[in-house]
Amino acid sequence: MSRSTSAGRRTLSGRSASPAPRRRAAGVALAGVAALIAAAVQTGAASAAPARPVPGHADPAHRAVKLTPSQRAELLRDAEATKARTAHDLGLGAQEKLVVKDVVKDADGTLHTRYERTYAGLPVLGGDLIVDTAKSGRTERVVKAVKAALKVPTLTPRVSGAAAERQAVRQARALGGTRSAADGARKVIWAAGGKPVLAHETVIGGLQDDGTPNELHVITDATTGKELYRYQGVETGVGNTRYSGQVPLTTTLSGSTYTLNDGARGGHRTYNLNHGTSGTGTLFSQSSDTWGDGTNSNAATAGADAHYGAAVTWDFYKNTFGRNGIRNDGKAAYSRVHYGNAYVNAFWDDNCFCMTYGDGSGNADPLTSLDVAGHEMSHGVTSNTAGLNYSGESGGLNEATSDIFGTGVEFSANNAADPGDYLIGEKIDINGDGTPLRYMDKPSKDGASADYWSSSVGNKDVHYSSGVANHFFYLLSEGSGTKVINGVSYNSPTYDGLPVTGIGRDKALQIWYRALTTKFTSTTTYAGARTGTLAAAGELYGTSSAEYKAVQDAWAAVNVGSRSGGGGTGTTYESTADVSIPDNGPAVTSSITVSGRTGNAPSNLQVTVDIVHTWRGDLVIDLVGPSGTAYRLKNFSSTDSADDVHATYTVNASSEPANGTWKLRVQDQATYDTGYLDGWKLTFP
């Protein structure tokens, strides 16, 4: 399967293909409660009359210019850096903070910066606003979702969240819901009604009495218990797919027309290219909410498969890892089906942030099966995390990552028509002989993939060098030897002839994801993948755990590193003392004294840091060795607004004496957010 980049198209099976045309990224609509509400209740439209354009023509000065990703990122950084001043200039209250959401630039230099708001740390539903700034820097207008001043008399609810949840669940059941408890609840400020009030937002999922998925949002006044607002977040149709049977599809109804637009998952849309090879295609639209008939003669059948695959992939990442979309920003990619004529491939394209499927040989077998969808969209996740180079051993790891998560998607779907397995592309029969593309239990069964690492494995096509990591993942999940899983027989060998005991697919997925997102870099090799997954396993389950040892043994079983027996797992030195970090103040330090060791520190010294902080981007973190040399662990970032730092860093400290006083140095370099060092440790492998 493939990932398309500016260098050309990566093919599904490793076959050569003509270079892909460059595709420009398409705009993706923002999704979310606040945006939805703003469209319904916006009251702050500017009163100034716009300049008159030439009749029949848009004023070129007011056309939005296309921004490169770096230009957009720079504008967002500028907005982040000045948002406190902007809040002050807008006269917002002391407890209000702006959250930068988006920015648009006109040809005349005007900036339209979109913000959401929090109040005392609570999300404000209906608190979004847009600030228009002229090229000179003068604020021209402010458009608010509501005009009312944002202030509530108390942040202590008189009605408990549990009571609001029970009430919301009753409402859902009255509408045919089947759940006895909410799937989500949070305290919010409800401003969309005009007068801001403290409220509870409750989300109830499950199924309605006709089998339609339910996602009822109920806003309850936290003082009176009165229901303020409710809406159904899901419009669900029926998809008659080629590979997954009859499935529910989340769609959008506008007037009397349904479209394959999934508003519950970032606005994912599915388009019909109708055998074209460029552009977005035509959004699937029809008067009925039943899509396809399970055959290739109906164009919507492939659309249903693709739309379902995108939804299951989104849910897999969210439910398994807490990841909110491919870029983890809540915004969906889009899908295109019926690409080209008899195109035997499917590919992910970073340039358009989209997923594309061909119809297979003779246009008879669209490449829209569930594991293919999960595989291809996982290339987007890799691109937005580790960015593994698509060649050599890192390229094999890139492909294996998509096989691993594509397999996770298939298992998580729990679809009787396509049960989870460790076979890649078994449904689409791309080879025309009824065999899958790849086998994770014994990769060499495809005739080309590597079961084990060797010094030459990086010279293979990335689809075949991926076999080493695929085999590792299977062994880590299920263990070696013969077994039957969901009706499929497997027999996984090991390089050293010794057995491996699996830890289960769920734990193996968590280890791989953590390594991908916090340990792997663009140039990670198989040796580096071993180091990264061990670090991830150690952080998740402990360095003396069965999971940690299983990672060692599974890598040894594919000829990467040694087994877990005989060597120990290293020595750890720890400080658990809390140290306050002053807001935009001087650096603070915490010390650990190491003694009783010989020689210098290792080249892979592990530094584990736990910091509680409300804006981790403010923090700069250094390790200071006994010699006084500082090793930068984390840089300042004005755009990293997440809470806390819980990470393990690898430091080449081989020029430092092992014994002596080691220090962790932390400095907060921006105002308004505070926190403390909760502890840290050094691990000598």
Spot the catalytic one: 217, 338, 379, 463: 463
Q: Going by DSSP bridges, is the β-strand pair 660-668/619-624 parallel, antiparallel, or unpaired?
A: antiparallel
Q: What separation in angstroms does the CA of 357 have from each of 198, 261, 377, 427, 528?
A: 47, 18, 12, 14, 33
Residues in Cβ contact with 288 at an 8 Å cutoff, skipping those fewer than 6 apart:
258
**Is there a catalytic annotation at residue 471?**
no
* Residue 362 falls in which region: left (phi positive, over 0), alpha (psi -120 to 50) or beta: left
Phi, psi (5° rounding) for residue 610?
-125, 110
Note whether 184 and 165 are within 8 A (CB).
no
* Of residues 665, 668, 653, 463, the one with CA closest to residue 581: 668
| Nearest in space to 630 (alpha carbons), one of 602, 584, 589 | 589
> Sign of the CA dihedral 276, 345, 245, 175?
negative
Instruction: Give the phi and the psi of residue 631 in degrees, each rounded to 5.
Output: -120, 115
What is the C-alpha to C-alpha distance for residues 56 and 97, in angstroms, rounded to an integer? 41
The answer to whether residue 463 is catalytic is: yes
Q: Which residue has the tokens 């109804």?
A: 253
List of long-range contacts for 208-211, beta carbons under 8 Å, 24+ apart: 208/175, 208/176, 208/177, 208/178, 209/176, 209/178, 210/176, 211/248
Q: In residues, how long is the chain? A: 685
- The active-site residue, picked from 96, 116, 201, 376, is 376
Residue type, 390: Y
* Residues assigned a catalytic role: 376, 463
